Structure 1
Amino acid sequence: MIGFSLVLIDFIFDDLSQLTLSDVLKRLVLNFDDFASIIGSVIFLFLKVILISYGIKLVKNSQRIILIEIHNSQIKYRKSPESRYDVFHFYNSLESLEFSKIKNVSLVNDFFYKNMIKIMTSQETLFLTGVQVLSLSEKEEIVKIIRSKIIPKTSLSIPE
């Protein structure tokens, strides 16, 4: 900014009637380091704005992920990101989980998770992303379908 103001002051104190385009270009070339710093800072400012807006777009698109696919023996899901601001995990890959490994499925509504589907296994607890775009009745229906496919361990034992 200082370089730009020095070039501007230099032009102000000259006789504007004798000023030509070649004089302007000579002064910009003579003060090239100042001119280059001006152009460089403007370019980096635009790059910052572009990258930040692209990150915001990714955060908004991550809320519109297709939720899950339910098959006969497994469900396919996406793990929720650890944070909305985690740059490297906006869009997690599709994973699968066997119904036999699921302990419990519920709809969670607390301070951190608003109407999110929670699947509990013996090793971990999974929160499914993309449920923000579904209505509450659709979420409850998904939970019922998954619960109906979970085979209770007590029904597997044959009484004698």
Structure 2
Amino acid sequence: MCWCFKVFFRVFGNLANRILSDCLDATYKMCCVCFCMRNNSLQTNIYDSKYERKFEITESFYMHVNRETAEELLQGKQNGTFIIRPSSQEPNIGILSLTQDNKIFHLVIRQRADTLIALGQEKFNEKTFKDLNSLINYYISNYLILYSGDAKSYTLLLPFT
């Protein structure tokens, strides 16, 4: 099979899985008697004293867990499944923990001096975002490149449910 078809079917399957998952999640959150929306999202405030800025994270993929618990939650999940957890280091916004090829990766989400958000270690000409939702939305539809030793893999983000 052609490489293009393999990539197309992988991306198409991933997007179809996400759409189905979102539809099921939305249906689950609706009250079947009065059709009102239940708010099952976790709301957390992160205060960054260095830039005197408060980040509000209301998405369900944010979890107040440590590294070990994040690894337990992500074990056996589909490639690209992620959660965002708090960072123990002050200037960082959080940690993006995700699974790929039965490995768990932990990437720092940091705020740069120009108040933009970046992922991982500081790099020349790195991709930056105005907020956390922009970062996540970008990597849901664009590949995130992960390095493990000499191996390089590509993944699309899939929120933890």
Greater strand percent: which structure? 2
Scaled to the shorter chain, the TM-score interval is: under 0.3
TM, length-normalised to structure 2: 0.21
What is the TM-score with the length of structure 1 in the denominator?
0.21
The structure with more helix, counted as a fraction of residues:
1
Q: Which has the higher contact order (CA 8 A, sep 6+)?
A: 1
